[in-house]
Amino acid sequence: MLRMSLQKAPLAQGTAVSYLMAMKCSEHQLGLLSAARRHVSDAERLAAESPDQSWHLAGFGPECARKALIFEPAVQAAVVNKALGHDFSGVADENLLDWVVRLDPWAHRYSPSSWARDHSILTDWKPQHRYERTGTAKNAGRNIKGLVATARAVVDRVTCDLWMDGLLPSTWSPAS
């Protein structure tokens, strides 16, 4: 679901919202978001001809988008790039993400820690699937179309939210 409003309230100078509006995503965040969009686009293109690769790439889209929502540089460098894994099913990762969101004054605005609960199909994906034999995703009955569609929805939501908040460069578009 996109958080849209037809009318924005005026911003008072010095408020948290006015500060957020003056920010921009870092190059690192833009790289992560760009990778997320690319992974999902590639997963969509590969769904018919290479279901295993489509499954593999689709899971990395939301994972990269989630990391792109961490704004605090010290938290990004110390925790996200080193300790936060790729997996959505690990309790440790969810607990770490909850902690990171509390440390980052802006990340909570985008609710990155609720994705596994809100989109349970994300918990079916594991980064280790990249090492499986060809044909495993289809033979195991994985919902490839469901994961790809969920990945698209999540990555598009992140892109739209950041774009609507004015945090993306003017050359970016919410459309992937």
List the CATH number of the domain containing 111: 1.20.120
Q: What is the 3-state secondary structure (H, E, C) of the chain?
A: CCCCCCCCCCCCCCCHHHHHHHCCCCHHHHHHHHHHHHHHHHHHHHCCCCHHHHHHHHHHHHHHHHHHCCCCHHHHHHHHCCCCCCCCCCHHHHHHHHHHHHHCCCHHHHCHHHHHHHCHHHHHCCHHHHHCCCCHHHHCCCCHHHHHHHHHHHHHHHHHHHHHCCCCCCCCCCCC
pLDDT score, position 7: 35
Is 170 among the domain residues? Answer: no
Is 17 among the domain residues? Answer: no
Tell whether the model's pLDDT for residue 129 goes beyond 90: no
Is 20 among the domain residues? Answer: no
Is 123 among the domain residues? Answer: yes
Is 169 among the domain residues? Answer: no
The total number of structural domains in the chain stands at 1
Tell whether the model's pLDDT for residue 124 goes beyond 70: yes
How much is the pTM?
0.80
Domain that holds residue 122: 25-164
Is 43 among the domain residues? Answer: yes
* Greater model confidence, 111 or 90: 111
Is 14 among the domain residues? Answer: no
Tell whether the model's pLDDT for residue 18 goes beyond 70: no
Is 2 among the domain residues? Answer: no
